[in-house]
Amino acid sequence: MKPRVAVVLAAVVLAASAIWFFALRGSNKSSKSTKPSVSAVPPRVPGPGSGSGGPDRRDRGDDREQQILIDDDPAGALRLEGLVLDTSDAPVAGATVVVSTNPSRTATTEADGSFAFDKLVGRSYTLVARAATGVGGPITAKLTATSDPVVLRLHAAGSVKVTVVEKADRPVAGTGTRRTV
């Protein structure tokens, strides 16, 4: 056999071996794998018009996005009580308090600044208070059967002053006096 033919024949055998090793062996390996495949598709949060939420192709192992469903908090036997105070430690009546349940719940403070949330389970909750005089929180409180009441102290919230001006730094008619920002 001529040396030139032997080199070509060796190159063909080497190329065929490389194709078998990388292409065919890779496909056999993936078909025998017992590892679950991980999809890079982010979970889909249901929105308006997302359907009835019943079984569909996603439940049959499709590569489509998986829907994440979060159950509402179960009803518990505990009560979270608290008080909303202003900067001078006076009770704030009519403040809105929001607690991090699923779905979130709100309460309005009484004349003495008190609020309460019933039927909670023992865990940590985050609370925020809002009123015309300011905001309080967020604070996190762990609720147990022997928990103390939560105290939210309001502080001044950020504000924005806007001045509407025409040319030459004059107020626009009907917008009131000129205020600087």
pLDDT digits (tens, 9 = 90+) for 69-86: 888 888 888 999 999 999
Q: How many CB atoms lie within 10 A of CB 118?
A: 13
Q: How far is CA 38 from the centre of its chain?
A: 22
Q: What is the pLDDT of residue 176?
A: 58
Q: Decide if 155 contacts 170 (C-beta within 8 A).
A: no
Q: Decide if 131 contacts 108 (C-beta within 8 A).
A: no
pLDDT digits (tens, 9 = 90+) for 40-60: 445 454 444 444 445 554 455
Q: What is the pLDDT of residue 179?
A: 47
Q: What is the pLDDT of residue 70?
A: 82
Q: What is the pLDDT of residue 36?
A: 45
Low-confidence ranges of the chain (pLDDT < 50): 29-41, 43, 45-53, 57-58, 179-181
Q: What is the pLDDT of residue 148?
A: 92
- Is the domain spanning 73-181 CATH 1.20.200.10? The answer is no
Q: How far is CA 134 from the centre of its chain?
A: 25
Each domain of the chain, given as residue ranges in start order, spans 1-28, 73-181
What gap in Å lies between CA 34 and CA 47, rounded to an integer? Answer: 34
Query: Which residue from 135, 129, 133 is spatially nearest to 114, judged by alpha carbons?
Result: 129
The string of DSSP codes covering 96-139 is EEEE--SS-EEEE--TTSEEEEEEE-SSEEEEEEEETTEEEEEE
pTM of the model: 0.52
Q: Residues in the chain, how many?
A: 181
Q: What is the pLDDT of residue 169?
A: 63
Q: Decide if 157 contacts 134 (C-beta within 8 A).
A: yes
